[in-house]
Amino acid sequence: MNLTSSVDSKAATRLPSVSFAMRRKFFLFAMALPAVAYVIALGVFPLVKGIWYSLYEYNLLKPARTHFVGIDNYVNLLADADFRGAIANTVIFTVFSVAIELVFGFVIALALWRDDRFNRACLTLILVPVTITPLVVGLIFKGLLLADYGMVGYYLAQWGITDPRGLFATPSTALATLIFIDIWEWTPLVALILLAGLKALPGDLLEAAAVDGATAWRTFRSITLPLMLPAVMLALTLRTIDAFRVFDSVFVTTGGGPGNSTNTLMVYAVKEGLSFFNIGKASAISNIALLCVAIIAACFILMIRHFDKKANGR
Amino acid sequence: MVFDTARRGFLLLTLAFFLLPFLWLAMTAYKPSNAIFSIPPHLFFTPTLDQFRNALRIFDVGSLVISSLLIAGGSMLLSLILGVPAGYALARSTHPAAMGVAYFFMTIRMVPAVAALIPFYLLMRDIGLIGSWFSVVLINCVLNTAFVSWMMFSYFRGLPKELEEAALTDGCRQFGAFWKVSLPAVRSGIIASALFCVLFSWNDFLFAMFLTRLDSKPISVALLSAYGTKDITWGTLGALAHFSTVPIVLIVLVLNRYFVQGLTKGIN
């Protein structure tokens, strides 16, 4: 009786279970389809059209002169001093802001590591810059640093620390000021990611090191830092990609000037595309930026996986 | 003990560094105009609400805030409707392509806004949606849906399958298992996703600046255009910035837990 019932139930479930797997597949497919279709239709399709536009001389202000030029837009960009300047500015901006944010963020994360009420309050308040509209962040620093009546800028200029024209109006300091703004806005985010990494560290390992009499520095170098690599890589990836496509703060404060001293790739592309309606050239600039972001992302994802394997032994 | 005091001192200095610039702008809104333009600038002044009166007189703040709410709320809702089921499907599917689709979503989220904006602008022009807040919702949704899918994928993957296996008996209950068992279990992930969608859409001005017209522009675009106008002072701007900044800062402070959790879990 026992035997027959088990055979019966097997026979009863075998056929439905095959169709269940099928239905399950279909169900999951149907659940994912709307999002994938949406992102392809309104995200990927325009991006592909952007590649198409970049092969044309296409200016909205002179619609009759739309013609195919092949890779001329790209070739011209390589010879364009403004474009090379924009690349240099973007790279300098990204390297310096991300490096300083990582170091400063790590120090803050270490200070916030212990879980007490003081630290929890600090963490909440420190996140305010991350949530403020980037546009308003730009306005804040423009207002503070103006040389004529800015609360900080006035004294910096009066005491001869900065040029009397102010930090934003001097080519030699404008980019550094923008890097400073980026650091102000995003260091808290880096600190938060690294803090999460610190909190996930295996406590017993750190205790064992303390019992063995390891110094704080030695523990940090041999245990904390290697185990933190995945979190560091994550913060590095996010910030590098975001810094590379910086737009809001530059557009609001300097608009790429003075001269072209703060012209970044994104600002250059917006100016060409949506102010001068030079769609072909602007598309070529944004496609190059897109390619750079894709390469950065791919490198970092591969590295994160590598460190993950090392850390987890998988 | 000494170390602890030093640590707290460092944190207080750090807090001052991150909060004072923001407080400065907030303060500007309560200064009388002559205190804003005094040379040399000074710290003390008699607070007034004149700047708020000015801001409300010059701008139709109500309609600006409503546009912002429509854009942020609309794109959040649509992104959740599209992204949450997709995240579930990717986490539960054993198909080899599922992981690829998840990475595809993550990559889309990293696309530079400008690269998407120019072709999107032309697309919207061709279908006649330029000038409406709805077009801003549509483009925000591309990035938000990709982000929500990726983030919910991480949340659902962390959810034990056994939880819904009991409920998974036949076809019509598959959606039931998702809706009644899995969805409530990742509530915090959904709140975090919603928070990030709102944050992203509320803070954006690039899309809105080029896709909306006068009657549909959100508060961020008004701030930007106000900044370039001669007869608008820093005080008026500070007052206007209150309407754009205070709601979002308050929401994040209240939902702080989800914000932190979402940032650390969603991107891992």
Interval B71-120: pLDDT, tens: 999 999 999 999 999 999 999 998 888 988 988 898 888 888 888 888 89
Task: Provide the residue ranges of all domains of chain A, joining segments of one domain with +.
Answer: 19-68, 73-311
CB-based contact B116 A46, cutoff 8 Å:
yes
Q: Which residues of B touch A45 (CB under 8 A)?
A: 123
CATH of domain A73-311: 1.10.3720.10
| 133-162 of A, contacting B, C-beta below 8 A | 133-136, 139-141, 143-144, 148-151, 154-155, 158
The reply to whether A171 touches chain B by the CB within 8 Å rule is: no
d(CA A308, CA A142): 42
Interval A254-302: pLDDT, tens: 888 788 889 999 999 998 888 888 889 999 999 999 999 989 888 887 8
Q: What is the pLDDT of residue A45?
A: 92
Q: Work out the average pLDDT over A77-90.
A: 93
The token duo for B66 is 């409503």
CB-based contact B116 A124, cutoff 8 Å:
no
State ipTM: 0.90
Pick the CATH number of B51-263 from 3.40.30.10, 1.10.3720.10, 3.40.50.10490, 1.10.1740.10: 1.10.3720.10
CB-based contact A188 B223, cutoff 8 Å:
no
Task: Provide the residue ranges of all domains of chain B, joining segments of one domain with +.
Answer: 1-46, 51-263
Interval A163-220: pLDDT, tens: 777 788 888 889 999 999 999 999 999 999 899 888 888 888 888 888 888 888 888 8
